[in-house]
Amino acid sequence: MATRRRDFLRSLGALGLLALPRATWPQEPPKNLQIDPFCGTGDAGSPLFIPGASGPLGRLAPRGVPFTMRAAPTDPSPRPWSLAYQVELGGQRFVDPTLVLSPGERVRITLDNAIGEPTIVHWHGFTIDTRNDGGGTILAQPGEHYAYDFEVRNRGGLYWYHPHPHGLTAGQAYRGLFGLIEIEDADERALRTALDLTPGKTEIPLMLQDRRAGGDYTPSDADRMHGFVGDSVLINGTACPHLDVATRLYRFRVLNASDARTYRLGFRTAAGRSVPFTLIGNDGGLLPKPQPCAEAFLASAERLDLLLDLSTAAVGDTLYLDTRTFDPMHMEMPAATAKEAAPVDHAAMGHAMPQGAAHVDHAAMGHGGAFPEGAARALLELRVRRRESYAARVPARLSNLEPIDVAGASERPLRLGFAKGRWRINDRVFVMGETPIEVKRGTVETWLIRNYFNSMPHAMHLHGFHFDVLERQTSPDQIAALKIDDHGRLATDLGRKDTVLVWPGETVRVAIDFSLPAAASFAGDQVYMFHCHNLEHEDGGMMLGVRVV
Ligand code: C2O
Ligand code: CU
Ligand code: CU
């Protein structure tokens, strides 16, 4: 048994996919891998739900045909959600469909609001004009319709959609209003062909959302402060899921659709040995080349596109996708909590404070219940059931993505912090109609996003534009330990991003190209949102309007 596992790992290395020095992978079970029993309960679980050609999460390729998405209450059993986007098209019914789109395609969707409160749909990651972005400046009131009409201008990749009415976003998303979007382009098709990948069979979306047992979305003050964290994690709506696999390569396309929880994802054998994967893409589509990776943090709204090679596994093996232990680095709250907390003097604290001093053990704070953020848990069981001969190799080149040229770019400082009971960006909270960030169309800017030590991790997201992560400075140890270059970047910082997690005490520099298409729909000033994707922070006002003039 032991010999076979060693052989399994050795042959993974021999595949040549894995160019990192051997020492990068722990030979002994890593300390953050004390994960027992499966799913927190040892529950045998149920088969992972995989989107089909219709029904829940069903793959819907409209190919230019207009359709209506009705946001409405649903029967929460057997599905966990009480709200859903419902679509009828071509004689098929879809619930929270997975939209399959191509670059250049015209998309015409009418939102029909039947949920009894204002809502709007935001197409997360899309290069889009303000009217179609659904950032919350325009809302559909209960009973109203809103007509989207736009062209797909993004490259291939995994995107998603969810509500964005300011102050109501977290609850509506938690109750089930969200879905995936796959944009298919030539790079995507080439990859599927090269690796013989079939959506729904060997290419599988993993949509992570943590939930609280039996309850609706009813955040406490502490939840608004830290984020609403559930006590179990569903993947594609399945609790404690397992998936039967064959001895071949799999592509997993992971979305963190949780309101607030960050995961530290990694695979392992049943015996606790870390099994590396190959990172091939993230928020903005395929990386230029594959990147070996042992584990990755994934914050709310981030995507991870990865390959797991099981071609040298044995029938009967079991592997797990886990979230591993980490320090969630939540800010210590004075007893008086969010509402009455004294203003924080940033100048006095900040960088003079020893790293980590301001953080307390999350579990000890009583927040997060049975499964606090940062606790380890097995999320998905992979059961190797069938032998298949598989010889395909991961292409050395995945895309021709070029870095953004930052020559002549001006730099914009952005500070993330907490004061007077609110999470803030540059000491401000969101005010509808105000755009404290103004940028010139067609320019490139670097944004220097600095998070104070006495803070929390914030998953910073910009609408309308993707960015390059240029560097991370003064990262906490658990982040610095994963860096892959001397700019302090992580494997997950490669390629294009629309959301970046900034840890307490950390400074992250990103480059953004504010070119917009010259199309009529983009004429005039455009307004986008820049916010924390911890949805409680977003609803609480940790968001600023960005005007592109
Ligand atoms: Cu996915 Cu403004 O968010
Ligand atoms: Cu967005
Ligand atoms: Cu935040």
SS3 per residue for 386-398 = ECCCCCCCCCCCC
d(CA 257, CA 478): 23
Query: Residue 487 corresponds to which tokens in the numbers above?
Result: 């700019």
Of 379, 383, 370, residue with least CA distance to 324: 379
DSSP letter, residue 524: S
Are 104 and 68 in contact, with CB atoms under 8 Å apart?
A: no
CA-125 nearest atom, ligand 1: 1
Would you state the pLDDT for residue 77?
75
Map tokens 């969630």 to a residue.
328
Q: Kindly report, as residue ranges, where domains of CATH 2.60.40.420 are found in the chain.
A: 2-34+195-330+360-386, 55-184, 410-548
Q: Which CATH architecture has domain 2-34+195-330+360-386?
A: Sandwich (2.60)
d(CA 490, CA 493): 5
| 3-class SS of residue 464 | coil
Distance of alpha carbon 129 from alpha carbon 139, whole angstroms: 15
pLDDT of residue 75: 81
Residue of minimum CA distance from atom 1 in ligand 1: 124
Confidence (pLDDT) at 37: 55
Q: Say if pTM beats, i.e. exceeds, 0.85.
A: yes
Residue among 9, 5, 18, 11 nearest 307 (CA): 18
| Ligand 1 nearest atom to the CA of residue 531, by list position | 2
Joined tokens for residue 132: 């179609």
DSSP H or E run through 382: strand 377-386
Domain 410-548 adopts which CATH fold? Answer: Immunoglobulin-like (2.60.40)
How many other CB atoms sit within 10 Å of the CB of residue 42? 10
Whether 310 and 19 have beta carbons less than 8 Å apart is answered as no
Closest atom of ligand 1 to 463 CA is 2
Tokens 């007509």, located at residue: 147
Nearest CA to ligand 1 atom 3: 124
- pLDDT score of 370: 82
Q: How many residues does this entry show for the chain?
A: 549
318 and 384 in contact (C-beta within 8 Å)?
yes
DSSP 199: B
pLDDT tens string for the chain (549 positions)? 334 444 444 444 333 333 333 333 333 444 544 445 566 666 668 999 999 999 999 999 999 999 999 999 998 777 889 999 999 999 999 999 999 999 999 999 999 999 999 999 999 999 999 999 999 999 999 999 999 999 999 999 999 999 999 999 999 999 999 999 999 999 999 999 999 999 999 999 999 999 998 779 999 999 999 999 999 999 999 999 999 999 999 999 999 999 999 999 999 999 999 999 999 999 999 999 999 999 999 999 999 999 999 999 999 999 999 999 999 999 876 544 444 333 343 333 333 333 333 443 433 343 557 899 999 999 999 999 999 999 999 999 999 999 999 999 999 999 999 999 999 999 999 999 999 999 999 999 999 999 999 999 999 999 999 999 999 999 999 999 999 999 999 999 999 999 999 999 999 999 999 999 999 999 999 999 999 999 999 999 999 999 999
Is the CB–ligand 1 distance for residue 164 below 6 Å?
A: yes
**Cα of 169 to ligand 3 centre, how many Å?**
14
**496: Cβ below 6 Å to ligand 1?**
no
CATH topology of domain 55-184: Immunoglobulin-like (2.60.40)
Question: How many A from CA of 216 to the centre of ligand 1?
Answer: 22
Are 517 and 132 in contact, with CB atoms under 8 Å apart?
no
Q: Are 153 and 127 in contact (CB under 8 A)?
A: yes
Residues forming beta bridges with residue 290, ordered by sequence position: none
